[in-house]
Amino acid sequence: MDAIRPYLGQRQIYDFNQHWKFTPQDEDRFKDVDVNDAPWATIHLPAPNRVLPHKDFPVETYQFCSWYRKHFTVPESAAGKRIVLMCDGAMVVAEMFVNGQKMGTHVGGYTSFSIDITSAVRLGPGNVVAIRLDSTRRTDVPPEGGIVDYMLFGGMYRNVYLAVYDPVHLQDVFLATREVTDEGAVLRANVDIANQTMDGWAGTVSIRFNRRSGGDAFESSHEVTLSAQAVDTAQWEFFMPGATLWDVDDPQLYDVAASLVAGSGETVDDVVFPFGVRTVSPKANGLLLNGRVVKLRGLNRHQSFPYVGGAAPKRLQRRDAYILKHELGLNYVRTSHYPHDQSFLDACDEFGLLVFTELPGWQHIGDDAWRNQALHDLRSLIIRDRNHPCIFMWGVRINESRDDHDFYAATNQLAKSLDPTRPTGGVRNFRTSEFLEDVFTLNDFSMDLMPTVHTPQLITEYMGHMYPTSSFDAEPRLVEHALHHARIVNSLYGRSDLMGGSGWCAFDYNTHRQFGPGDMVCYHGVMDMFRQPKFAAWFYASQQSTKEQIVLHAASYFTFASVPHDAMLRELIEAAEMEQELVSGKYRWPIYVFSNCDEIEVHVNEQSLGRLLPDRDTFPNLPHPPFVFSVQGYQVCGKVDIMGYKDGQLVAETCLQTPEGGTRLTLRADDMELVADGSDMTQVVVELVDRNGIRAPYGNRAVTFTCDGAGDLIGETPVAMEGGRIGVFVRAGILPGKIRIAASAFGVDSAEIEIETVLDTEPRL
């Protein structure tokens, strides 16, 4: 229905992630209650079925069947209630047993599922849930069947909950904004109510809106009458006066409490979820959001992380959304090519990041059973996520698949029946395609933008495999990678016939051997897989308003290798006095600065180049074109000071300094405090720096990590740096305390940091 969270109202939702037993073995008897699972590993979800190297591993490493078991107590308060096991995602096929009884099977690794286990449990201790998880390559389950340009990984990699609620309960709540005006908003409520008793029931559905930013609450209610053993739907429209709107610049949210109240006045069930009031409609030149045109500027995101695959807890999911919105300055992300974690979408709601989400798939369309599974996945996706204000469009085609009229007519019809308020799109990589959706969504890898095929049209991928670039590539390639992105985004902003676009992609990711350079990594991101920026990331960041943040980054390490001397020397090879030519003013090379300042001032080795304006001649359409200055190409060494100005005032300073050789390591954690729940984790990045604190951009030292205290290390040790840095994860245990992490390497000073873990307060079973 909505993003699930631990909650103890009339409905009780318990976090069910802790103290699972796990084995990579597969025996049918593991479903039985009396199996001795004490020797099995104890894990806390979400977790991968195997921790992996960050690259260079075969896919068979995680493609196997495994078992998960959990012993639990059913609280006495559950007497007479329904008891439901809920899982946000398990890869790929999960068979569930409770106290030895098979309760059901869920197919598909990207969709949530719920199993009513009331008939199999007993009050008190001694209950056992066992799950057989098939993480092999299942060609009968989307997205598999053909070659897939990403890894699915394995494991119970998302959150699990146990819910306890009344036999008369809210089965689904869907709120839709029909219209917004200066006076308020017209909303429509669709509420499915289940009565699992043998008697009829009458009462009221109440929906209360509590504005997070404060102010008076608003409530609307509707009377309902239910037959015995029936599900009915209450539908009504209402006007909310003075509604505060959700927007990319001001993402106002409400906490909505939906309650089911009996005629006696007793609340029998309730759920709480976030909601944003807003309207969306596609237009030729952008997305009409609450009547305002927003040009979409975004990137694609895979939910892939080093070492743990997709098994990233809430903190890492939220961190990705924060990076996309606040560090890269985007207003839109495409969740390629499957439904992403609820925690990520929650954060997009909070940060004001628009989302285009889609059903699982990659190019391949299978047989009728496969198609039916795809329709099931699409239904699950829409029902799960349709209360998220961040989502503006449903993807109803298998990414880059061939046309299939009957199949895609069915996916479009299904999406419209479940949510008539959002447009549909369907991503293809060819122009001569049947247009069944509301928005023509096209992957355009021309390195310039082709003429529009249909209107409205959104470019859903560009760049990517056309110019793969790693963080440890030579500087000229990193610069050209950034400039390719800049040129395409400049074209997007110059096109009034395009809604916008999303580049491929935000972060490097693990993939199969058919893609990438052979080390199982696609280096297509503007950041590496550790979420560390390449130069292209600074370009995207520079396109945001200075009201969000002031950006000033030079795309150079300022070394002799900054210049591709072969090209320049070819021009000078006929010179009579070549050495003289090399040190002359003829041999110059451009340095690009990505900034949203009005002007910059540059000093090269203490010699002023004066104040410079952005290069609007080359990039006339960008909100903030790059700055460019040139240096003597044969003597690129020393120091460059750059000052940024806004409205004539100095607002930012940065410095380029030639690295002098690494002398010490530094450690930086994304978070200095974790929750002691067994799965909370943060990334720790080690860098090799010189005596001035300048990173060694080509450093590849082998680093050894140690970790002790109230947590553990997730990652490789020793591990070679890439581009002078590398990351690992630090995971909290289940007891509060301190975690000490140290990093060492041959010939340089070591580093150490300490992270604190605090008491976990979530209601758990």
**pLDDT of 448:** 85
- Specify the pLDDT at position 573: 62
**Choice between 643 and 572, residue whose per-residue pLDDT is larger:** 643
Q: 635 vs 13, which has greater pLDDT? A: 13
Catalytic residue among 327, 400, 716, 722: 400
Structure confidence at residue 564 (pLDDT) = 84
| pLDDT higher than 70, residue 182 | yes
Q: How many Å apart are CA 604 and CA 590, to the nearest integer? A: 13
Domain with CATH 2.60.40.10 in the chain: 168-275, 558-657, 664-758
Q: What is the CATH number of domain 7-165?
A: 2.60.120.260
Work out the end-to-end distance of the chain between its first and last CA atoms, rounded to an integer number of angstroms. 22
3-state secondary structure of 212: coil
* Residues 6+ positions from 252 with CB-CB distance below 8 Å: 211, 212, 213, 244, 245, 246, 276, 277
Q: What is the pLDDT of residue 26?
A: 98
Q: What is the pLDDT of residues 413-428, one digit of tens each?
A: 999 999 999 999 999 9
Query: Mind listing the pLDDT tens digit for each residue in 26-59?
Result: 999 999 999 999 999 999 999 999 999 999 999 9
Catalytic status, residue 400: yes
CA distance 441 to 324: 21
Helix (H) or strand (E) holding 126: strand 124-134
Q: What is the pLDDT of residues 709-731, one digit of tens each?
A: 999 999 999 999 999 999 999 99
Which class does domain 295-525 fall in?
A: alpha beta
Residue 569 has pLDDT above 70, yes or no: no
Domain with CATH 3.20.20.80 in the chain: 295-525
φ and ψ of 340, to 5 deg: -100, 175
Q: Which of the following CATH numbers is that of domain 168-275: 3.75.10.10, 2.60.40.10, 3.40.50.300, 3.30.1490.20?
A: 2.60.40.10
Compute CA 524 distance to the chain's CA centroid, rounded to the nearest angstrom: 16
pLDDT given for residue 257 in this prediction: 95
pLDDT of 515 above 70: yes
Q: Is 664-758 a domain of CATH 3.90.110.10?
A: no
Residue 220, SS3 per DSSP: strand
Is 76 assigned a catalytic role? no
Q: Dihedral through CA 121, CA 123, CA 125, CA 128, nearest 10?
A: 10
The torsion angles phi and psi of 236, rounded to 5 degrees, stand at -160, 155
Rounded percentage of the chain residues whose pLDDT exceeds 90: 91
Q: Which of 144, 437, 461, 687 is catalytic?
A: 461
| CA 193 to each of CA 26, 63, 287, 419, 717: distance values in angstroms, whole numbers, following the listed order | 39, 40, 34, 18, 53
Confidence of residue 435 (pLDDT cuts 50, 70, 90): very high
* Upper half-sphere CA count for residue 659 (Cβ side, 13 Å): 22
Helical H segments across 494-590, by residue range: 535-542, 565-572, 578-582
Q: What are phi and psi of 20, to 5 degrees?
A: -90, 150
**389 near 246, Cβ under 8 Å?**
yes
pLDDT digits (tens, 9 = 90+) for 142-177: 999 999 999 999 999 999 999 999 999 999 999 999
Q: Rounded distance, CA 691 to CA 686, Å?
A: 16
CA 132 to chain CA centroid, Å, is: 27
Cβ atoms of 587 and 630 closer than 8 Å:
no
C-alpha pair distances (Å), 353 with each of 64, 104, 324, 350: 36, 36, 8, 8
Pairing of strands 201-211, 751-758: unpaired
| Strand 702-709, strand 737-744: pairing | antiparallel
Q: Say what the pTM is.
A: 0.96
Question: Which residues of the chain form CATH 2.60.120.260?
Answer: 7-165
Q: Is the peptide bond before 65 cis (omega within 30 degrees of 0)?
A: no
Looking only at Cα atoms, what is the longest distance across the chain? 102
Which overall architecture, per CATH, does domain 558-657 show?
Sandwich (2.60)
Dump pLDDT digits (tens) for 60-77: 999 999 999 999 999 999
Model pLDDT for residues 657-692, shown as the tens digit of each residue: 999 999 999 999 999 999 999 999 999 999 999 999
Calculate the average pLDDT of the chain. 95
Q: Is residue 556 a contact partner of residue 475, using CB atoms and an 8 Å limit?
A: yes
pLDDT tens for each residue of 205-236: 999 999 999 888 999 999 999 999 999 999 99
Among the ranges given (7-16, 74-83, 347-356), the one the predictor scored with the smallest mean pLDDT: 7-16
CB 729 within 8 A of CB 713: yes
Predicted local distance difference test score (pLDDT) of residue 581: 65
| Mean pLDDT confidence for 254-264 | 95
